[in-house]
Structures are given as structure tokens and as C-alpha cells.
Structure 1
Amino acid sequence: MDKTIQLDNLDRRILRTLQSDASLNGTALAEAVSSSPASCWRRVRALEEAGILGATVRLIDRRAVNRDVDVICSLRLKSHGEQDAEAFERFVADQENILECYTLSGEWDYLLRIVAADIRDYEQFLMHTLLRHPSVANASSQFALSRVKYTTRVPV
């Protein structure tokens, strides 16, 4: 982050609105947050410069692109050495089907969210890619039966 800013009510309205619809043009965004276009544009730029607003992306329905299986995978490394962790994290960054990766405290070292076309697709990835990584000791997979809540919206 280049600089930090104090968020006021207008900043918070802008952030909430953009999290709901990032495709709004400057005029529509300004109208939605009850601001002038020039003021709104300056605020958006300041939020970007402060690192609060990141890249604009479009969300994809995973089922529409044949990624119907959602897997939560807990994973343990063979060692806690810095080189092993760095090698594993580089590996994770290169895997398209790993959507999220968290380091954990407790029994497991990492928690991964992985999408796959079906169970066989996940089995192939697990057995022939993930578990074959030299840093990985073992893993435990849980399959999501349904998604009760999913959001990328951060409360502001």
C-alpha cells in the first residue's frame, strides 16, 4: 500500500457499491453513492492508490464451466523448513484448480479450496499432482455437498 486513508461514509458507500457491481461507469457509480462524478472518481483513485481497491474481475459460475466439485483439502508438509514452504506455495500459485490457500495454526499446515470437474478429476489431481509434490506429507479431503453461502464482499 502506498498510503493509508481514513474511510468516511462516502468511501464506504463506494466500496459497498463496487463490491456489488464493479461494472458501473463513473456517472452511474456517483449516482448510486449520491456524489458528484468528479468527487467520486477522486475517491476511487485514492482507494486504488491506498491499495484498498484491487483488480476488477468478473465472477464465473463454476458449474457453467464444468467445475462442479468443490473440495476442502487440509494438507501437512513433510517439514516446516522455509524452503519447503516456499516451494509448496510456488507450486500452489501455479495450480489453476486451487482457488484458495491458507496457512493454518494447529494440526494442519495448509487449507486449500480446490475445484474439479468430478470426483475422478479430483482424484487424478490429488494422487498424481498434489501428493507427489516433494514437500507434501499427507492430505485430507472433504467434499462440499452444497454451498450455503459464498461471497467476496468484505464488510465496510
Structure 2
Amino acid sequence: MDRKDRQILRELQRDGRLSNADLAERVNLSPSPCLRRVRNLERAGVIDRYVAIVNREAAGYPVTALVQVTLARHEREVVEAFEARVRETPQILSCRLLTGSSDYLLEVVMPGIDSYEAFMRDTLHTTPGIATINTSFVYGSIKETVELP
């Protein structure tokens, strides 16, 4: 990747709906070479996909919880069962493997606190192999971006 590819990525991260003509103008290329570069970035897997970023509150999910999970045991079956449960649960937006005292960090969205209680009772508490769960509720955001530097 060269400087021009990085310019293309910066512009597409800011507005993934740019037409090729507008993108080419912003990065000072003619449309044909610009499109060729975008297609190369897609083929190389640098551009993974195009998505819409939805406002959580406007979509009815104003509550965000960060949930640290520690497993009681780390046998393959326990880990696979937990990770399968995570993948099938739409309220879990992300699940990160961690070093340190917790094994996983979940980002969970809910319409309200009562929904979170039901999520805990029906989803996490019924998942075998969990030793501890620690929840922090997000009450503000200083920075939130999907743009890579």
C-alpha cells in the first residue's frame, strides 16, 4: 500500500457511500485508476466490507454494557460452548479475548436495564463454564470511531 491507497482508505472510512467519481476527485486521481485501486484493496482483504453505522439510541438500544467474563475451566468444550453462545446472541456486538484477570470482554447493547437483567438470567447465567461476570454500564462516550489511523 502506498500513500494514495491510504488516502483512499481514509476517505472511504469517512464516507463509504462515496461514488467512484467523488472519491477520485478527493484523492486527486482519475476515476479509472481510482476504481482499480479500490478493487485491489478489496481483493487483498484490506477493505473487508461496507456497512452503515447505526445510531444505537435512535435504533432503540440506549444501554451499552461492557461485560468481563472469566471461565471456570479452559477445556476445549467449555471454550467452544461459550464462544458458540456469544456468536448466536445478537445483543453481543463484540467479544474480545483478553490477557489478565478476565478471559473475555463483551460489548452488549440493550433497550433498557430490565432487558439486561433478562439477558443475564436467560443467556449468560445459563451458559455452562462461567466462573465470574463483571458488568460496567457505559454512561458516556469520549471517542468512538471505526476509522483506522
| CA-CA distance at 1:137 after TM superposition | 2.1
Matched residue, 2:52:
58
Matched residue, 2:74:
80
| Percent identity between the two aligned chains | 39
- Equivalent residue in structure 2 for 1:132, among 96, 104, 126: 126
- Equivalent residue in structure 1 for 2:88, among 94, 105, 108: 94
Structure 2 unaligned runs (5+)? none
Q: Which amino acid aligns with 2:11?
A: T
Determine if the alignment matches structure 1 residue 46 to structure 2 residue 43.
Answer: no
Runs in 1 of length 4+ with deviation above 2 angstroms? none
Q: Which amino acid aligns with 1:147?
A: S
Matched residue, 1:19:
13
Q: Which amino acid aligns with 2:77?
A: Q
Matched residue, 1:4:
none
RMSD: 0.9
Q: Which amino acid aligns with 2:10?
A: R
Q: Secondary structure at the match of 2:57?
A: helix
Q: How high is the TM-score relative to the length of structure 2?
A: 0.96
Determine if the alignment matches structure 1 residue 36 to structure 2 residue 30.
Answer: yes
Q: Distance in 1 between matches of 2:88 and 2:49?
A: 19
Matched residue, 2:147:
153
Work out whether residues 76 and 137 of structure 1, in 8 Å CA contact, stay in contact via their aligned partners in 2. Answer: yes
Query: May I ask how many residue pairs the two structures share in their alignment?
Result: 149
Matched residue, 1:114:
108
Q: Which amino acid aligns with 1:49?
A: R
Q: Which amino acid aligns with 2:119?
A: F
